Structure 1
Amino acid sequence: MKMMQQTITNEKTTPAPYSRTNPFHAKVLKNVNLNKDGSSKETRHIEFSLEGSGLSYVAGDALGIIPANDPELVAAILAEMNWNPEEEVIINKQGETLSLKEALTSYFEITLLSKKILQQAAELTENEELQTLLLIENANQLKEYCYGRDLLDLLQDFGPWKGSAQEFVSILRKMTARLYSIASSMNAHPGEVHLTIGAVRYQAHGRERKGVCSVLVAERTEEGDTIPVFVQPNKHFHLPESVDKDIIMVGPGTGIAPFRSFIEERAVTKATGRTWLFFGDQHAASDFLYEEELTQYLQDGVITKLDTAWSRDTDKKVYVQNKILENSKELFNWLDNGGYFYICGDKDRMAKDVHNTLIEVIAKEGSMSQEDAESYLNDLKKEGRYQRDVY
């Protein structure tokens, strides 16, 4: 009996490790806008304390944030439906309950629509327009409708509704974590983790839209606040094991984040391999993220080469891929001598353009056909020397 008692005591004293399902409430140490006056962007540099969490990470990993929805959007939904914010609703299969306001704020995803949500909502209204939108032949219109719209749009567009608040929350998805590339090295900042987050704001369908997590950080998070976080390892995006390898990093905009962690890590480990960074954004004067730090690293020799591309400073738009082409001979030389190539940032445009430019450089400088250049790049990928962290 004594032995059993001992086991129970041990279980109580060992806290569960922090994870996606059990996030750590990290204190915000710093939250500043990296863009200067005149910029059309707002990019937050945010520092969290990991003290007491037992969490650790390596350069290349991501940090997950469990965000909360915009209180203004929640209030608009409650007002639209004339719902009682204090009404208790069941939020999951376990039968747990929250007030409706709290459920819409912190538990459910209310800014994203899907075909499934519209199909289930259609059972709560006689609205013919919604029934028509859901017909098989209107699949494209349905997809178009869901893009960039939220729960408030759905409620405003397809009433009158006959469903209860409980029936509505039952069709919503649970809030998903937002993942961000970590922008710090744990060796350089013990007990801390830093992120670089661009605030997402745009006009669509008659009102301003805001990124759930990015605007939470930009508008409603102050130093001293806590935010639920967890570490998400990224096995496919990391520094070479050997510190004597050359690395080439392409990270325009917030794509700079993991490369700040790479550079800090290489400074701490006194890496002997060369480091080349390509960074770009709209204006040199207002959008050069981490300019002072990067310039210092360049002076100290931690960064060997720094090439920047500013798309709005001249009549001709200059992007990182243009800078890669300008440096094609030297870049191919680095690659052909065992260098590693990394891309972080926008998947649809930038990463695709850089990928195609890289094939062009390999073909030109290696005197290869397009096919052979693609196969050369594939080999780099297999060797772990071509890595992408794109979103």
Structure 2
Amino acid sequence: MPPPAALPALPIPEHAVDALARLTGELDTAGLWWLSGYAAGLAARSAPQQPAPAVAPRLDAATAGRLTIVYGSQTGNARRAAERLAADAEAAGLPVRILRADAYPVRELKGERHLVLVLSTQGDGDPSDDARELHDFILGPRAPKLEQLHYAVLALGDSSYPLFCAVGRKLDERLAELGATRLTARGDADLDIEIVATPWRERALAAAKESLKPLATVTPLRPTATQGTRHDRDQPFSAAVLANQRITLAAGRGASGKDIRHVELSLEGSGLHYEPGDALGLWPRNDDTLVDDILTASRLQGDALVAHGGEERPLRDWLSGKRELTRLARPFVAAHAERSGDAELKALLAEQDGTAFAAWAEARQVIDVLQSAPADWDAASLVAALRPLQPRLYSIASSQRVVGDEAHLAVAHVAFERNGAARFGVASHQLAKAGHDDTLPVYIEPNERFRLPADASRDIIMIGPGTGVAPFRGFVQEREASGADGRQWLFFGNPRFRSDFLYQLEWQRALKSGALDRIDLAFSRDGAAKVHVQHRIRERARDLLEWIENGAHVYVCGALAMGKGVHDALLDVVALQSGGREAAVERLDALQREGRYARDLY
């Protein structure tokens, strides 16, 4: 339908208006903002390249009066926080655009006047993969002077790591060095994000409104319509357990030290859709025995009513489904040290770089702290000191094109002993125990950075030791079902061939059918010397270079430490052709910018 005559002429062909209306009508709020950023990125890339002027270019009113929100997210938390701010800004009448960091053209930074960065810190001080280029540009020598920029930073992190919120802190300080003016002080949010993010968002929005002084209210792209229940992080779907099978050797000679489960969940009736590379989010529940032990150690009653954050519920309910008990956080340990007066805890907390605390906390849970250094707690103070329970994300090990309304997972059951007592990971333990009569609260966490090539003729190289192989099971299923003609090469590793070769029969069938062209294996405990996937990568350097130079996409999934080792191995491989380490770094960075080198690390 053509636009009303009263409106000014549109800068798009008349025939495109209907197509645009149909497209936007099918998108939710997040999709509309993603489309806005995607279109802005296309426009920036297609614009004629002009030599940089000697002085800053004059901005038009639209640019000067716009709020740009850029987010760098590894697990979706920064994206959600940015989307909430964008929704609030739009409702307040501010012209706003929101972009993922790798879709933001860094050359536009010089022209920005109002910028908000929402950035997560991955692991111990690293930027999320989508924010690496922006991070390096702002910290590097090519960053421009930014005297006309007003900015704000919301940093997300995990206080269990020594370099808490390091990425947001560094960029906040660097922007100030470049002459920019803060709209509001940086917010440093721990895993209980909203405690910091909500008041920070209010301050940032108030400051932006004052600075921008909008002259007109922005009309939303489409009116909000009331739809049926949409399952997401805040409204998870109760998924029935269809299968729960151990896929490592449980007993006998050569039994595996790992309990890895293949779990199948039903999404029937949920309306949930996922793409290969996406994750399934699970809202876990703490084990009843652990909750009983916490109550005993703290000498508190489970039926004691506790009011916190606008909710009132019995203490047992708080501990069962609302508080982290299997991961230690520095604020809780600090509060317990103060109450107990324990000298060892205080000395540990006083350590400067935090590495000793991180190693100590990795091997302990809340119950261990309560038992080793008794202290007097009241129910309300304990709930306030513990972090809110967070969902756990698992790479989906299936293609919906193949399995329909199901999602498959490969889950390593985290289980160990501490002082003779069993300790478990909260979500993996729940999944390991789940039976056919159980349902689990789940949602889909999209991972747009970890997608199969749009061009099905492109080759793919998949590096996934241990349960990091999960998304690649979905990749191979998808490529076979869709008739993709690109080649598939898998690198897989684990301790032992006999007990730990996950999905062995499926990979063998895929090789036989041609769905998988090549597989390289590394079993670290089967020989005199430990062999990991990094070793196989270096051994296959020439073939890897040939694949990469012919357009292959490279994917890495698994633990952070493994990802760093694989990255170093890939640098060694690329350096053979690039002429040195520095050139290899630039080459891998370029592949990442092109979307041909993607990592999903945890």
Q: TM-score, normalised by structure 2?
A: 0.59
Q: Distance in 2 between matches of 1:75 and 1:227?
A: 22
CA contact (8 A) 2:334 2:346 kept: no
What is the CA–CA distance in structure 2 between the aligned matches of 1:170 and 1:57, rounded to whole Å? 36
2:295 to 78, 95, 98: 78
Structure-1 residue corresponding to 2:489: 276
Q: How does 1:71-150 map to 2 (within 5 A)?
A: 71-90=288-307, 92-94=308-310, 96-121=311-336, 125=339, 127=341, 129=343, 132-133=346-347, 136=350, 140=354, 142-143=357-358, 145-150=360-365
Q: 1:117 to 1:270 in 2, by over 3 A?
A: same
The residue type equivalent to 1:99 in the other structure is P
User: Which whole-Å CA distance do the structure 2 matches of 1:296 and 1:135 have between them?
Assistant: 53
Q: Which residue pairs with 1:183 in the alignment? A: 397
Q: Report the CA distance shift for 1:308/1:126 in structure 2 as closer, same or farther (over 3 A).
A: closer
Shift in Å, 1:318? 1.6
Counterpart residue number, 1:302: 515
What is the CA–CA distance in structure 2 between the aligned matches of 1:352 and 1:236, rounded to whole Å? 18
Maintained 8 Å contact 1:236/1:387:
yes
SS in 2 for 1:16: coil
User: Which of the numbers 387, 400, 423 marks the counterpart of 1:209?
Assistant: 423
Higher CA-based Rg? 2
What does residue 389 of structure 1 align with? 600
Residues 88/375 of structure 1: CA separation in 2 closer, same or farther (3 Å cut): same
Which residue of the other structure, out of 147, 158, 162, is the alignment partner of 2:373? Answer: 158
Q: Which residue does the alignment assign to 2:149?
A: none
Q: Give CA-to-partner distance per residue, 1:49-97, whole Å, 9 cap, x none.
A: 111111111000011001111222111111223322222222x422x22
Pick one of 569, 572, 590 that aligns with 1:379: 590
Task: Give the Cα separation in 2 of the matches to 1:56 and 1:170.
Answer: 36
Check the 8 A contact 2:336/2:375 in 1, yes or no. no
Secondary structure at the residue paired with 1:299? Answer: helix
State the alpha-carbon separation in 1 of the partners of residues 374 and 526 from structure 2: 48
Correspondent of 2:476 among 252, 263, 287: 263
- Is there any run of 5+ residues in structure 2 with no aligned partner, and where? 1-224
In structure 2, do the counterparts of structure 1 residues 309 and 135 end up closer, same or farther at CA, with 3 Å as the change threshold?
A: closer
CA separation in 1, counterparts of 2:353 and 2:590?
A: 40
Counterpart amino acid of residue 318 in structure 2: A
**What residue identity is the alignment partner of 1:48?**
L
Q: CA deviation at 1:21?
A: 1.2
**1:316 counterpart = 2:529:** yes
The one-letter code sitting in structure 1 at the alignment partner of 2:281 is: G
CA contact (8 A) 2:417 2:423 kept: yes
One-letter amino acid of the counterpart of residue 33, structure 1: R
Match of 2:460 in 1: 247
Aligned positions of 1:327-346 closer than 5 A: 327-346=540-559
Contact 2:476/2:515, CA 8 A, preserved across alignment: yes
How many residues end up aligned between the 2 structures? 373
Higher mean alpha-carbon deviation, 163-172 vs 200-209, is at 200-209
Tell me how far 1:30 sits from its aligned partner: 0.5
Percent of residue pairs identical: 40
Q: Which residue of 2 aligns with 1:193?
A: 407
Whether the 8 Å contact between 2:298 and 2:375 is mirrored in structure 1 is no
SS at match of 1:331: helix
Q: What CA deviation, in whole Å up to 9, does each residue of 1:351-380 have, x standing for no partner?
A: 12211111111222x262222122111111
| 1:203 positional shift | 3.2
Structure 1 gap segments, 5+ residues each: 1-9
CA contact (8 A) 2:334 2:349 kept: no
**Distance in 2, Cα, partners of 1:204 & 1:326:** 40
How many Å apart are 1:151 and its aligned residue? 2.0
CA distance in 2, matches of 1:319, 1:126: 44
Structure 1 residues 320 and 132: CA distance shift in structure 2, 3 A: closer
- Displacement over 6 Å in runs of 4+: none
| Other-structure match for 1:370 | 581
The aligned amino acid for 2:567 is H
